[in-house]
């Protein structure tokens, strides 16, 4: 301790110099435009570089989860294929589906089945995501060039992610499920009763969403599955995409509807990969729907 | 002792007022040609007594820089350059010690050590000061060419005014 004090007094001028320089640089960066700009740009560049590195590491360690999600998704798709093949009673198709050879299946179905070609799924990566504000958004690494257009739905193996809002050449922004303007038509799978999914930003809870407009004469149980309806109003999602389970169903005191809390299956904080759902004959459908009824 | 402090305070005021009220406005006149700026105030740091404690030199320099910054509306920029100048002053003085060392009457000014010594001393300190000042003004070495050009241009102009100051007042302590 005495040694330290001695050292400090002997080098007093050096330390005073460094201390006052630090004060100067702080005031400089704090109160001068030029220096502030340079400081921010430089520190942002540094921070960006290190964040990128950290992201890479996290990506690597998160791979297990992603892998599991992809496997779940694959399993689901496989099941759907089998189911479809079964529906069509096409033995060739069924066998191919069971054997899981996708290119053969594609050959077998091409030009045959309009239902199969109803939707296209554009794989995207999430490059920015927020869950902690009232209106959360995501940014995707694909844009107009890859066929993404505003109002398309975004899903992944765990459920609905959001709705595309703005599209640039190579990127697009997505209004997340956790956005106060999001309206998604959803139904109780067991009964088929449908309502609208809305997020109210309640306590910024990223795990729950509210299902509204289900009439009180319907029976809603805790634990019921909630899926998308795929109805025209929101024909941006295919039918039956899993959203979550009913956690709490309350009858409104005023009005005739339920207020249902749905526990989301998807963890919005962990979304890294997703698919943009593109309806193949979207233009045709939009045009038709925009014509007045005669 | 008291006399010395009074002299320093008066010199401080004179230098700062000359700098911010006269020289700053003169520089503003050729605002679109920024390579020549007149910074005469480092002369105050140069003229501080030889045997003044380094800590006090640094504190004086900080006060000087901050006073100039108030008028230049650039908090911290002149102050950091002044601090730097005050800090290296010790080393420069050691390097420039005349053969046989400084005597008791020596002070870093023209009256005690002559024009030749003083000009060399002032030139070194002023160059360091200007280079440091323009570096922190840009805050990046991306514009190293502009920094050097400004240093050279301002060096010539500032040196003229420092010589004039010393010739007119001929400070002795």
Residue of A nearest to B83 (CA): A17
Measured from the Cβ of residue A169, the count of other Cβ atoms closer than 10 Å reads: 9
Cα gap A260→A249, rounded to integer Å: 4
Segment A187-199, tens digit of pLDDT: 998 888 989 998 8
Residue A210: φ, ψ to 5°: -110, 135
Residues of chain A with Cβ-Cβ distance to B54 below 8 Å are 12-13
Q: DSSP states of A92-109 as a string?
A: HHHHHHHHT-HHHHHHHH
How far is C-alpha A33 from the chain's CA centre? Answer: 38
User: B76-95: string of b/e by CB count within 10 Å (b at 16+)?
Assistant: bbbbbbbbbbbbbbeebbee
Nearest CB to B75: which of A14, A27, A42? A27
- Tell me the shortest Cα–Cα distance from B82 to chain A, in angstroms: 10
- Those of residues 39-58 in A touching chain B at CB distance below 8 A are 39, 42
A11 has a pLDDT exceeding 80? no
Test B58 with A20 for CB contact under 8 angstroms: yes
- Determine the 3-state secondary structure of B1 from DSSP: coil
Provide the shortest C-alpha distance from residue A139 to chain B (in Å): 33
Q: Is B171 on the interface with A (CB under 8 A)?
A: no
| Range with the largest mean pLDDT of A25-34, A94-103, A115-124, A168-177 | A168-177
Q: What is the pTM of this model?
A: 0.51
Q: Of A254, A262, A247, whose CA–CA distance to A182 is shortest?
A: A262
Q: Is B87 close to A13, i.e. CB distance below 8 A?
A: yes
Binding-face residues of B in 41-60 toward A, CB within 8 A: 53-55, 57-59
In whole angstroms, give the CA distance from residue A133 to residue A268. 13
Cα B39 to Cα A77, B84, B131, B154, B160, distances in angstroms: 75, 15, 12, 7, 10
Task: Identify which of A16, A27, A30 has the shortest CB distance to residue B55.
Answer: A16
The stretch B125-148 carries a mean pLDDT of 91
- Mean pLDDT to the nearest integer, A105-111: 55
Pick the range with the lowest mean pLDDT from A12-21, A84-93, B48-57.
A84-93
User: What is the distance in angstroms between the Cα of B22 and the nearest Cα belonging to chain A?
Assistant: 23
H runs (alpha helix) in chain A: 2-10, 12-31, 33-88, 91-99, 102-109, 282-290
Is A19 touching B (CB cutoff 8 A)?
A: no
From A16, which residue of chain B is nearest by alpha-carbon distance? B55
Confidence (pLDDT) at A229: 85
Confidence of residue A280 (pLDDT cuts 50, 70, 90): confident
Q: Touching check for B15 and chain A: CB below 8 Å?
A: no
What mean pLDDT do residues A23-28 have? 90
From the list A63, A250, A266, the residue with the least C-alpha distance to A157 is: A266
The yes-or-no verdict on residue A98 having pLDDT over 90 is: no
The share of chain A scoring above pLDDT 90, in percent, equals: 10
Mean pLDDT of B59-82: 92
HEC profile for A187-220? EECCCCCEEEEECCCHHHCCCEEEEEEEECCCCC
- Give the confidence band of B28 by pLDDT, cuts at 50, 70, 90: confident
Chain A CB contacts of B56 under 8 Å are none
Angle at which helices A33-88 and B110-138 cross, to 10°: 20
Residue B34: φ, ψ to 5° = -80, 5
Q: Which DSSP symbol is given to B18?
A: I
- On the question of pLDDT at A94 being above 80, the answer is no
Q: State the pairing for strand pair A184-188/A194-198.
A: antiparallel
Share of chain B above pLDDT 90, in %: 55
CB contact (8 A) between residue A32 and residue B80: no
Contact A20 B136 (CB under 8 A): no
Q: How far is CA A169 from CA A103, A144, A273, in A?
A: 30, 5, 19
Q: Cβ separation of A35 and B57 shorter than 8 Å?
A: no
Q: With an 8 Å Cβ cutoff, are B139 and A13 in contact?
A: no
Question: Which residue of chain A is at minimal alpha-carbon distance from B56?
Answer: A13
Say whether residue A125 is in contact with chain B using an 8 A CB cutoff. Answer: no
Residue A202 has pLDDT above 60, yes or no: yes
Confidence of residue A72 (pLDDT cuts 50, 70, 90): confident
Residues with Cβ within 8 Å of B57's Cβ and at least 6 positions away in sequence, in order, are A13, B45, B48, B86, B89, B90
Q: Chain A: nearest CA to B74, how far in angstroms?
A: 6
- Inter-chain touch A32–B75, beta carbons under 8 Å: yes
Instruction: Please give the Cα distance from A101 to A180 (Å, whole number).
Output: 42
Cβ of B77 within 8 Å of Cβ of A35? The answer is yes
* Token pair 């449908």 in the structure block, residue: A194
* pLDDT at residue A292, as a whole number: 81
Cα distance between residue A32 and residue A26, in whole Å:
10
Per mean pLDDT, which range of A128-137, B26-35, B45-54, B132-141 is the poorest?
B26-35
Contacts of B96 (CB under 8 A, 6+ apart): B117, B120, B121, B124
Cβ(A201)–Cβ(A134) below 8 Å: yes
Higher-confidence position of B83 and B98: B83
Q: Would you place residue A271 in the very low, low, confident or very high pLDDT band (cuts 50, 70, 90)?
A: confident
Residue A45 pLDDT exceeds 70? yes
Cβ neighbours of B65 (radius 10 Å): 29
ipTM for the predicted complex comes to: 0.86
Task: Look at residue B155 in the predicted model and tell me its pLDDT.
Answer: 95
CB contact under 8 A, A24 and B65: yes
What's the pLDDT score for residue A102?
Answer: 53
CB within 8 A of B116, min separation 6: which ones?
none
Which chain B residues are Cβ-neighbours of A16 within 8 angstroms?
Answer: 55, 58-59
pLDDT at A113: 47
- How would DSSP label each residue in A63-84? HHHHHHHHHHHHHHHHHHHHHH
At A140, give phi and psi (nearest 5°): -110, 155
Which token pair is B116? 């030749």
């Amino acid at each position: 301790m005495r040694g330290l004090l001695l050292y400090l007094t002997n080098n007093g001028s050096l330390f005073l110099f460094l201390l006052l320089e630090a004060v100067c640089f702080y005031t400089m960066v704090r109160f001068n435009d030029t220096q502030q700009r340079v400081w921010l740009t430089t520190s942002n560049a540094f921070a960006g570089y290190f964040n990128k590195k950290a992201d890479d590491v996290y990506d690597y360690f998160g791979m297990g989860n992603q892998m599991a999600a992809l496997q779940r998704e694959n399993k689901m798709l496989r099941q759907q294929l089998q189911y479809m093949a079964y529906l069509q009673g096409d033995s060739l198709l069924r066998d191919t589906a069971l054997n899981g050879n996708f290119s053969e299946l594609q050959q077998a179905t091409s030009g045959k089945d309009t239902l199969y070609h109803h939707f296209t799924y554009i794989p995207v990566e999430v490059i920015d995501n927020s869950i902690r504000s009232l209106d959360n958004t995501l940014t995707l690494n694909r844009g107009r060039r890859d066929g993404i257009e505003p109002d398309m739905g975004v899903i992944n193996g765990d459920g609905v992610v959001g709705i595309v809002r703005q599209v640039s050449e190579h990127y697009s922004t997505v209004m997340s499920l956790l956005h106060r303007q999001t309206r998604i038509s959803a139904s109780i799978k067991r009964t088929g009763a449908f309502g609208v999914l809305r997020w109210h930003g309640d306590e910024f809870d990223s795990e729950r969403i509210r299902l509204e407009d289900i009439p009180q004469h319907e029976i809603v149980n805790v634990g019921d599955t909630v899926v998308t309806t795929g109805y025209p109003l929101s024909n941006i999602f295919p039918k039956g995409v899993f959203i979550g389970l009913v956690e709490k169903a309350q009858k409104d005191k005023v009005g005739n509807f339920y207020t249902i809390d749905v526990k989301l299956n998807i963890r919005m904080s962990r979304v890294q990969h997703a698919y943009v759902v593109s309806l193949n004959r979207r233009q045709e459908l939009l045009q038709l729907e925009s014509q007045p009824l005669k | 002792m008291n006399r010395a402090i009074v002299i320093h305070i008066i010199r401080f005021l004179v230098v700062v007022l000359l700098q911010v009220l006269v020289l700053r406005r003169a520089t503003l006149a050729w605002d679109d040609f920024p390579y020549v700026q007149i910074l005469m105030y480092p002369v105050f740091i140069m003229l501080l007594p030889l045997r003044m404690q380094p800590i006090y030199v640094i504190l004086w320099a900080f006060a000087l820089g901050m006073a100039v910054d108030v008028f230049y509306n650039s908090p911290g920029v002149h102050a950091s350059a002044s601090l730097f100048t005050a800090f290296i002053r010790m080393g420069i003085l050691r390097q420039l010690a005349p053969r046989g060392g400084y005597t008791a009457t020596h002070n870093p000014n023209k009256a005690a050590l002559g024009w030749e010594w003083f000009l060399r001393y002032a030139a070194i300190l002023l160059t360091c000061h200007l280079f440091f000042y323009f570096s922190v003004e840009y805050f990046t070495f991306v514009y190293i060419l502009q920094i050097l050009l400004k240093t050279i241009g301002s060096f010539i102009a500032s040196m003229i005014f420092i010589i004039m100051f010393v010739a007119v007042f001929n400070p002795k302590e």
